[in-house]
Amino acid sequence: MTSAESAGEADFWPFLISRGRRSGFQVVAAPDFLCDAGLVDLLWETAGGSPMAPGQARRRAVKGTAVGDFAVLFRVRLAEAADLGAEGDRPRDEHGRPVPVVEGVVERAAQAGTVTDDVLGRGAEECAGHLREFWRADLAWPGPAPTCSFHVRRTGPGRPLDWELLEERRVAPRPVPPSAGGERAPASPETGPPKAEARAAAGRRRAYAALGGAGMAVAAVIAWAVGSRNR
């Protein structure tokens, strides 16, 4: 991306990922073109991580999808009561954990350029209502709300951001089934990455299976002892 392109105008689609009181992490709002193509999963696969300090943001290029290349520009923070139209302490889920919010924008571009703070702020404003509705609906939330693009200058009146450039993500050029529309957790300090959760679950299943086998063995020994006593 040239310096002229970086400083020019562009179209951005807002997105937001979070979790509810009882519902797990999921894509709450996503670009309409990703919803239409059934590629919402790509957002929670490419956007996430630990909450960030004010003024920090992350960016990543995603290439080879059925809808072409695009870039995700985002930040991660913990939800405030005001985000949900309330007052008081930070909202927490049913386990007492704070609620991370991954909010950002998608640009249909081959490279992940930078923007000023006001562009991400506009994306967050566009998704604010969806976050409140999601929190109220919780388990009844119907799925990602499609978002439309807005057209602004990349470098507006907002402050520059300290950007972390993440490794480029390349995917196979095929659509993901719409039924896969995004109820998995992005990597976060509260939950860990999705793969880690899967490994932990698999470990628990193996442990339960082992305990089940041990229980059957103990039952067999007891039955043999009782039978020997009766003979």
Alpha carbons 21 and 16: distance in angstroms, whole number: 16
- The mean per-residue pLDDT over the stretch 211-231 comes to 41
What are the pLDDT digits (tens) for 186-203?
444 344 334 443 444 344
- Per the model's pLDDT, the better-predicted residue between 172 and 218 turns out to be 172
Q: Any idea what the Cα angle at residue 160 is, between residues 155 and 166, rounded to 5°?
A: 100
What are the pLDDT digits (tens) for 20-50?
999 999 999 999 999 999 999 999 999 999 9
What confidence score (pLDDT) does residue 172 get?
Answer: 78
Bridging pattern class, strands 162-165 and 56-63: parallel
* Helix-, strand-, coil-residue percentages of the chain, each rounded to 5: 35, 25, 40
What are the pLDDT digits (tens) for 129-174?
999 999 999 999 999 999 999 999 999 999 999 999 999 999 976 5
Bridging pattern class, strands 145-147 and 26-31: parallel
Q: Strand pairing partners for 135?
A: none
Q: Is the pLDDT of residue 3 over 70?
A: no
* Exposure of 228 in the CB half-sphere (CA atoms within 13 A): 6
Please, are residues 182 and 44 in contact by the beta-carbon 8 Å criterion? yes
What confidence score (pLDDT) does residue 61 get?
Answer: 98
Look up residue 49 and give its two tokens: 């991580």
Look up residue 39 and give its two tokens: 């590629």
Look up residue 157 and give its two tokens: 């009146």
Number of H helices, E strands in the chain: 5, 9
Residue 90 DSSP one-character state: P
What confidence score (pLDDT) does residue 173 get?
Answer: 65
What confidence score (pLDDT) does residue 209 get?
Answer: 39
Whole-model pTM?
0.74
Please, are residues 39 and 27 in contact by the beta-carbon 8 Å criterion? no
Q: Which residues contact 157 (CB under 8 A, 6 or more apart)?
A: 116, 118
